[in-house]
Amino acid sequence: MSTKLITEKEYIARINRIFDYIEKNLDKPFTLEELAEVANFSKYHFHRIFLGMVGETPFQFLLRVRLEKAASALIMHPQEKVADIAFRCGFSDSSIFSRSFKQYFQIPPTEYRRAKNSNQDQVVRKEGQREDGVRMYFCFDSKTIKWKTNMEQNKSVEVKHLPKTKVAYLRHIGPYKGDSELFGRLFNQLFSWAGPRGLLAQPHFQPIVIYHDDPSITDESKYRISVCLTVPENTPVDGELGLMEIEEGKYVVARFVVAPTEFEKAWNWVFGEWFPSSGYQPDDKPCFEAYPEPAHDGNITVDICVPVKPI
């Protein structure tokens, strides 16, 4: 491998560490020196390197992610105060948040929430006209509440406590919807790395895709996804591969068997059908897909995992 390629992969890994650090500490203030130290770049050159690789300055990226997280929270948590959402997303002054939000979305936060939730109600009512009903029942074997549905692709729905999970990942920035070649290439690269290290034979081994942005809010040119494999705690990584942790917590795990073109339909069902009838709301952590078994006859078994908390 050429020195140039090794250097490029190392730079990608360092920028990814910044993404992970910001996402994990979104409510905290940052300095340029702090971010440069996390990336292990000189503070004198970090700003220019980040801008050249990401297309935004570090603080343009930080502001955009905070505003988009806040926009998503305004929709998902309609009863929460705007000022509380602003503070949770890293804004210490609600007036600065409102001004920045209006500048970015061309509409104040309260009007944005009203318009989006009105549209969402219309979608839910329209979707509810189909026969993809959701019915709750108590499972005596597992002593948990589960849900039965009429949606053909859905096989089970259950709220579970998932443990902390360490994953090795490759990150993609940009469009991904319907691009099976992209996912195939990234997973093949991960498998080629993991196989010789004996990681594919580890207990509980699983491929995972983490979605860091809300596709209904973020421009598709800036979508961030992490294509992952579960690994033991202290697995060494190098080059553009990163290592991160999926937080433990309560998740709805909805299993589907879908064609490659039906993933969006499954996600829309979880948010448009299951959530409104569940007694839960999404929590502010990344969602992910886990693949518990190999594809069969062109269909893919996928667990859509969304962090939840009571309404």
The full set of domain ranges for the chain reads: 3-116, 144-310
Cβ(67)–Cβ(112) below 8 Å: no
What is the rounded end-to-end Cα distance, in angstroms, of the chain?
Answer: 52
Ordered alpha helix ranges (H), 179-260: 180-194
- What is the pTM assigned to this prediction? 0.86
- What dotted CATH number matches 144-310? 3.20.80.10
Whether 144-310 and 3-116 are alike in CATH topology: the answer is no
pLDDT tens digits, 152-169: 888 999 999 999 999 999
3-state SS assignment for residue 305 = strand
Mean of the pLDDT values across residues 251-268? Answer: 92
Q: Is 128 a residue whose pLDDT tops 90?
A: no
Query: Measuring CA to CA, which residue among 71, 134, 72, 129 is closest to residue 275?
Result: 134
What is the C-alpha to C-alpha distance for residues 149 and 269, in angstroms, rounded to an integer? Answer: 11
Q: What percent of the chain has pLDDT over 70?
A: 90
Give the fold, CATH level 3, of 3-116: Arc Repressor Mutant, subunit A (1.10.10)
Query: Of 94-98, 128-132, 270-274, where does mean pLDDT reach its minimum?
Result: 128-132
What local confidence, expressed as pLDDT, does residue 123 receive? 45
Residue 268: how many other CB atoms lie within 10 Å: 12
Q: Tell me what the mean pLDDT of segment 293-309 comes to.
A: 92
> Could you report the per-residue pLDDT of 34-57, keeping only the tens digit for each?
999 999 999 889 999 999 999 999
Q: What does the pLDDT read at residue 254?
A: 95
Q: How far, in Å, CA of 34 to CA of 69, rounded?
A: 22
Q: What is the largest CA-CA distance in the chain?
A: 62
Dihedral (CA of 176, 178, 181, 187) sign: positive
